[in-house]
A = this chain, B = another copy of it.
Amino acid sequence: MKKTDRDAVIDAALTLFRMNGYHNTSMADISASCGLLKGSIYHYFPGKKELAIAALDRVIAETREKLFRPALDSSVPAEVRLANLAERVERYFIGREGGCVMGNLALEVGDAIPEFQARIRTYFTDWKEALATLLATKHGRARAEEMAEDIVARVQGAIMIMGVNKDERPLRRASRETVQLLAPADAAATASA
């Protein structure tokens, strides 16, 4: 039961960071959102930065578990795993207010806070690795990594546009076209027909 409060702080902080950004989220905001008094947060975390780091670490763990690890389960055909990964990513971000906290912080703090930068890089690397492993079953490893990086970029951009235009179709197209990269017989013809 002890970890519940700590987790509640991380939960609140994570949501606020995602929706309002890091610098625009105050300890008072987090306090009001998690039920704990402002000063009490410092019982669990040395400061705001370390709290954010814990939040980012949680995102990394969660996405590894729920999104990227299933993609490496070799008992399932690669094309199915790719379809599952694409669909999970799509569902993960659609309707999630504030989009992707990793992408948001990547553009907000840039490399000003190395601990953030390192975690953001890890997150993107995980994502790219999962995609590259799957794509390498059909395309070469080198080309697969390029394609994986491009997919991650496109999805992140689609999430950005989703926030700006309230339109989730770019994200859906990114998912659909990703799946087709392992479709048999170079299914571009099937798609355009």
Contact = CB atoms under 8 A, between A and B. Distances in A.
Contacts of A70: none
A2 to B, nearest CB: 33
A193 interface: no
Which are the 10 A-B pairs with shortest beta-carbon distances? Answer: A153-B157, A157-B157, A156-B157, A23-B23, A154-B154, A104-B107, A23-B24, A153-B158, A108-B108, A21-B108
5 contacts: A103-B160, A107-B107, A110-B163, A120-B164, A157-B157
Contacts of A170: 149-150, 153
Number of copies: 2
Chain A interface, DSSP helix/strand/loop, else mixed: helix
A19 B19 CA distance: 20
A107 B24 CA distance: 12
A150 B164 CA distance: 14
Interface string A122-163: 001000000000000000000000100110111111101101
